[in-house]
Amino acid sequence: MRPEILFPFFAETLSLTGVGGRTAANLEKIIGGRILDIFWHLPVGIIDRSKRPHLSDIKHEQIVTLEVKIDRHDIPPSRSKAPYKIWCSDDTGVICLTFFHARADYLLKEMPEGSMRLISGKAEIFNGALQMNHPDYMVSLARQDEIPMIQPLYPLTAGISAKLMSKITAGSLKKARILPEWIDPNFLKKQQWLSWYDALQMVHAPKNEEGILPSFHARRRLAYDEFLANQLAMEIMRQKLKKKKGRSFKPKGILKAKILKDLPYELTNAQKRSLQEIELDMAEEAAMMRLLQGDVGSGKTVVALLAMINALETGVQAAIIAPTEILARQHLESITALCKNTSLEVEILTGRNKGKKREAILERLISGKIDILIGTHALIQKDVIYKDLGMAVIDEQHRFGVEQRLALSAKANGIAMDVLAMTATPIPRTLTLTIYGDMDFSKLDEKPAGRKAIDTRVISLQKLNDVVLGAGRAIKQNKQIYWVCPLVEESEKLDLAAAEERFLHLEALFGDKLGLIHGKMKAKDKDAVMEKFSAGEILILIATTVIEVGVNVPNATIMIIEHAERFGLSQLHQLRGRVGRADEQSTCLLLYGHLGSKNATSRLKIMRETDDGFIIAEEDLKLRGAGELLGVRQSGMPDFKVASLEDHGDLIGIARDDARLILNKDPELASKRGKALKTLLYLFERDEGVKYLKSG
């Protein structure tokens, strides 16, 4: 249950005075519909009204506050489109205030001729004369306190003026309450941070430019709070899983030796090291929760298999779950090949298996005949029952939700199961902590020997014709090509139009050996196209950016990316990773249209210079925000409201250590600080784990 003290924070903005249905709806669309959402909507700048020049001092457009005499109203004839003008002056000059759609009676009453007024707004020079359109403030000298000298500037949303936004924020901040402190007092003192309440008030009342920087102390406090909530939530899940009694796997290693003997290659050092880390975990009684990170092609599959073998040899079953049908089938293929000289039974179960066939698989599963079951979400359906599931591999773990992961764990007959998660998306450490904070990490940071580097070239789109001709020559030699079409803003519709246009263009030249794949297609249709490409029936696959992570078509050796300057680094890296999967030399052509920004140029340069996913990920985080790093639409990235990994990344490791320490000392969060931390979890809406605390 949410603590009562937070109730007002979760009230609708509609409950604020001055916020009507339409405003509330506009807020809801962009910022969120609750008071709390307004708390986290921080200013991006300040409006400084403290400059009070004489009229003759104003030489260019600027925000000013002016003390002037109202000389004369110029009222436009009714129905005229001309603006309403009020002429004002001081000892040094004249300024004209202009109003469109003004109400004469109102202006005449507020600004009587002959009176003195304080006016604040943006002064401009128009045709050599001073003017101000719609001043923000017009008050008598007696009321000058009503003009805020420094005003926070919020990112605005349609239908909400700056003035209204200030009012909404002020109203919301009045609902804030002093909360019990959840930060360790010593740490708080060392950082010289304010309380949560004071920090919140302060970030909304910047006194100068420094006050809106991410490095401003009050913002760092709130960012730390958010990281702490995030890390604590993960740690609760981790402890829940760790608490359960698990199995200690200490196999003799006979089966493993057999598979190793048949391997056509030597494991890389990174593979050996990761496997060792995994084996140490598996020997422990506590459940393993380890993430294996490694670029595409770094050889995760064989590591996953050898890990499973350790469990299998003791007589239990293992499962691999993958986010898509295609990935599941690829795992089936590689695993079957690696196990060919063993008596292990490897089977696949996906949404495609229905009726009798599915029943037969389920029967062999429950009787223990199947040793390794590979599949999609189908693996966690209720009626999928294992004889004795001892270990699971989760591929592209961030594509699965907490509930799904728990559902899989629940298949293990009440015993905590060893879990190995894998991801082919190398991400910086800070990000790893926020997404996979509940896990331990192993890294495959070394490519198998003998891989040829992909020949990466950066080419102007003006040479498109040459590229097309080159593609024509390549398909004559039966080479296969991925052709990725540009991102057009954030619209899938426009992406699609661009891809379709290129498809028609190339089809006219090369005939029927073309395929088109895009995000709007049904999963089944996508699979069908991918399978054709995989089988070599399609030679040029034109795609929006939907090409699945991990898809393996070794014969595809050319990757062409149009308007590569529009893609993020990690995205380019992922796309390039589709090729270079066979002995043959692969090529990646990065076609650029317009290198508008320095960032775009740096990105393409980095792509040409390095092939190391971890370096690329770090660079990407520097160049772009973390939110974009994984692709905006990709799930798994917690959505931080105040904290930013680029700006506050140094705090996340501290939050992680803090969270672990707290839960070790106070696993039920029952102490005074523990209770405050529970409030923190609710405040940042990371409370899904609270129910797992006994005192929950």
User: Binding residues for ligand ADP, per CB under 6 A?
Assistant: 265, 267-268, 271, 294, 296-302, 424, 448
CA distance 104 to 110: 10
* DSSP track, 580-636: --SSS--EEEEEES---SHHHHHHHHHHHH---HHHHHHHHHHHS-HHHHT-TT-TT
- Could you tell me which of 314, 302, 245, 254 has the C-alpha nearest to residue 278? 302
Supply the minimum distance, in Å, between the C-beta of residue 311 and Mg ion: 9
Residue 246: which of ligand ADP, Mg ion, none does it interact with, CB under 5 to 8 A by kind? Mg ion
To 10 degrees, what angle do helices 429-436 and 217-243 make? 50
Q: Which residues sit opposite 522 in a β-bridge?
A: none
Total length of the chain: 696
Residue closer to ligand ADP by CB (options 300, 518) is 300
> How many alpha carbons lie under 13 Å from residue 138 in its C-beta half-sphere?
21
Residue closer to ligand ADP by CB (options 205, 318) is 318
Residue closer to ligand ADP by CB (options 584, 668) is 584
Structure tokens at 584: 């043959």
Supply the minimum distance, in Å, between the C-beta of residue 467 and ligand ADP: 27
CA distance 116 to 161: 27
* DSSP track, 629-679: HT-TT-TT----SS--HHHHHHHHHHHHHHHHHHHHH-TT--SHHHHHHHH
Using CB under 5 A, which residues numbered 386 to 445 contact Mg ion? 418
Residue closer to ligand ADP by CB (options 61, 262) is 262
Residue closer to Mg ion by CB (options 284, 628) is 284
- Could you tell me which of 406, 454, 408 has the C-alpha nearest to residue 574? 454
Supply the minimum distance, in Å, between the C-beta of residue 260 and ligand ADP: 11
- Could you tell me which of 138, 140, 129 has the C-alpha nearest to residue 96? 129
Q: What is the C-alpha end-to-end distance of the chain, expressed in Å?
A: 8
Supply the minimum distance, in Å, between the C-beta of residue 398 and ligand ADP: 16
Supply the minimum distance, in Å, between the C-beta of residue 349 and Mg ion: 25
Supply the minimum distance, in Å, between the C-beta of residue 543 and ligand ADP: 19
Residue closer to ligand ADP by CB (options 297, 636) is 297
Supply the minimum distance, in Å, between the C-beta of residue 248 and Mg ion: 6
Supply the minimum distance, in Å, between the C-beta of residue 331 and ligand ADP: 9
Residues that contact Mg ion, how many (by CB under 5 A): 4
Residue 300: which of ligand ADP, Mg ion, none does it interact with, CB under 5 to 8 A by kind? ligand ADP
242 and 416 Cβ atoms separated by less than 8 Å: yes
Residue closer to ligand ADP by CB (options 448, 631) is 448
- Stretch of 2-10, 242-250, 529-537, 677-685 lying at the interface with Mg ion (CB under 5 A): 242-250
70 and 40 Cβ atoms separated by less than 8 Å: no
Give me the sign of the Cα torsion angle 139, 141, 147, 150: positive
Residue closer to Mg ion by CB (options 12, 284) is 284
Residue 255: which of ligand ADP, Mg ion, none does it interact with, CB under 5 to 8 A by kind? none
Residue closer to Mg ion by CB (options 46, 412) is 412
**228: three-class secondary structure by DSSP:** helix
Residue 267: which of Mg ion, ligand ADP, none does it interact with, CB under 5 to 8 A by kind? ligand ADP
* R_g (Cα) of the chain, nearest Å: 31
Supply the minimum distance, in Å, between the C-beta of residue 326 and ligand ADP: 13
Count of CB atoms within 10 A of residue 80's CB? 9
Residue 424: which of Mg ion, ligand ADP, none does it interact with, CB under 5 to 8 A by kind? ligand ADP
Supply the minimum distance, in Å, between the C-beta of residue 437 and Mg ion: 20
Using CB under 5 A, which residues numbered 272 to 291 contact Mg ion? 282, 284
Supply the minimum distance, in Å, between the C-beta of residue 424 and ligand ADP: 5
Residue closer to ligand ADP by CB (options 187, 265) is 265
Residue 43: which of ligand ADP, Mg ion, none does it interact with, CB under 5 to 8 A by kind? none
- The order of strands in the sheet holding 556-561 is 455-460, 587-592, 556-561, 480-484, 540-543, 514-517
Residue 297: which of Mg ion, ligand ADP, none does it interact with, CB under 5 to 8 A by kind? ligand ADP
**14: three-class secondary structure by DSSP:** helix
Residue closer to ligand ADP by CB (options 337, 661) is 337
Residue closer to ligand ADP by CB (options 271, 557) is 271
One-letter amino acid identity for 668? E
Q: Does 550 bind Mg ion (CB under 5 A)?
A: no
Residue written as token pair 């050898």: 306
CA distance 258 to 322: 26
138 and 110 Cβ atoms separated by less than 8 Å: yes
Select the residue whose beta carbon is closest to ligand ADP and give its number: 299
CA distance 149 to 429: 42
- Stretch of 31-39, 216-224, 241-249, 363-371 lying at the interface with Mg ion (CB under 5 A): 241-249
Count of CB atoms within 10 A of residue 450's CB? 7
Q: Which of 152, 246, 375, 577 binds Mg ion (CB under 5 A)?
A: 246
Residue 421: which of ligand ADP, Mg ion, none does it interact with, CB under 5 to 8 A by kind? none
Q: Which residues bind Mg ion (CB under 5 A)?
A: 246, 282, 284, 418
